[in-house]
Amino acid sequence: MLAACENGDPSEQPDAGRTRADAAAPDVCEARYAVTRRQPEIVLVLDRGCAMRARFDGSEASGPSDPEGRWGATIAQIEARLARGGASWGLVLAPDDPTSCDAPVLRVAPGPGARDMIASELDRDGTVDPFAVCTSGAAELPLEGALATLVDADPFTTERPLVLVIAAGAPSCGATGETLAAQVGSLTELGIEVAVIALSSDPTLQAISTQYVEATSASALEDAFAEIVDARGDCVLELIGEGAPDPERLRVWIDDEELAADPDEGFSYDAGSGAIALNGAACEQLRAGEITRVRAAVGCDAPSCVARDEACDGLDDDCDDTVDENCL
């Protein structure tokens, strides 16, 4: 919010002709801004069929927590992403019933409380994992039905939403490349992209997805998440306050380090949208969840944090040194 610092006398504010360096007196603050980040929305469609019981080398995993198993490694990556924040997640488990081709339900939609609900869904030992689902025979993978559920529900509220399919088996229940492509086309018409992380090669999934990555090891799975999910992270931050800042005198800090105004390796300001963008390494840090707080001000040296409600955006919005607490 636009505010003079508590100990700043407006009559002593620097004039508009002074440079950014000239306006750096620590006891003067013309304006401080809160920031909000546009976060991506991602719905996971998670295969829990029999192929997820295997290790990446094809041998049988010791159980659902085996770090070399497809299921164990996938859950570890999902949990790490949920803990990091910076995205709003949803969840579809395929299949709902191991012997059924019914369209799986949207178990969790992106929004408040989703992070805890997904963690709860995945933590139900003995009921969710493929070792519980595949007690006999092969479980179905009703991917076409899962995509149809998302077409009908359209649970997204932001631009560039993503459906992320993580699968080790081939789609079943009568799905063909043509029927799957039709569902993907319907999602595309809604502005929803479809990406696939394939834990074993599948030409059908490769043909229908906007982005297709094969992951044949736990480390490759981590890289696949980074390639697909981190690229969705938006490095544009809206400034919240009264009036637009002077672009020549706007200063930005990431945590305790001031960031230079630089279109390649610093920040840039867009007067049209009233937002700043973090560029280069700063953007990568933000996407990786390595930045806790971003501050913006005019006429201040390291201004105090401007508190606002926690916004589930991977940043400490309410200035309590905790990111996204009680949020998603």
> What pLDDT is recorded for position 10?
34
Q: Which two tokens stand for residue 11?
A: 């009559």
> What pLDDT is recorded for position 218?
94
d(Cα 34, Cα 291) in Å, to the nearest integer?
15
> What pLDDT is recorded for position 85?
73
Confidence of residue 26 (pLDDT cuts 50, 70, 90): very low
d(Cα 85, Cα 81) in Å, to the nearest integer?
7
> What pLDDT is recorded for position 126?
65
pLDDT at 19 over 60: no
Confidence of residue 103 (pLDDT cuts 50, 70, 90): very high
pLDDT at 326 over 70: no
Residue 117 one-letter amino acid = M
d(Cα 268, Cα 257) in Å, to the nearest integer?
16
Confidence of residue 136 (pLDDT cuts 50, 70, 90): low
pLDDT at 15 over 50: no
**CATH class assigned to 47-232:** alpha beta
d(Cα 25, Cα 200) in Å, to the nearest integer?
59
pLDDT in tens, 147-192: 999 999 998 887 779 999 999 988 999 998 899 999 999 999 999 9
> What pLDDT is recorded for position 88?
85
Maximum alpha-carbon separation in the chain: 79
pLDDT at 37 over 70: yes
Phi, psi of 77 (to 5 degrees): -70, -40
Instruction: Show me where the domains of the chain are located.
Output: 1-7+22-38+236-328, 47-232
d(Cα 176, Cα 197) in Å, to the nearest integer?
19
Between residues 28 and 1, the one the model is more confident about: 28
Confidence of residue 107 (pLDDT cuts 50, 70, 90): very high
CB 114 within 8 A of CB 90: yes
Between residues 190 and 87, the one the model is more confident about: 190
pLDDT at 312 over 80: no
Between residues 91 and 229, the one the model is more confident about: 91
Look at 18-27, 54-63, 241-250, 270-279 and tell me which has the smallest mean pLDDT: 18-27
Between residues 29 and 202, the one the model is more confident about: 202
Please provide the DSSP assignment of 225-260 as one string: HHHHHGGG---EEEEESSS---TTTEEEEETTEEE-
> What pLDDT is recorded for position 181?
92
pLDDT in tens, 263-304: 999 999 988 888 899 999 999 888 888 898 999 998 887 778
What do you get for the CA distance between the two ends of the chain, in Å?
A: 25
DSSP-assigned beta bridge partners for residue 52:
none
> What pLDDT is recorded for position 6?
37
Output the CA angle 24-34-233, nearest 5 degrees: 115
Confidence of residue 67 (pLDDT cuts 50, 70, 90): very high
pLDDT at 49 over 60: yes
> What pLDDT is recorded for position 282?
93
Element (H, E) at 189: helix 177-189
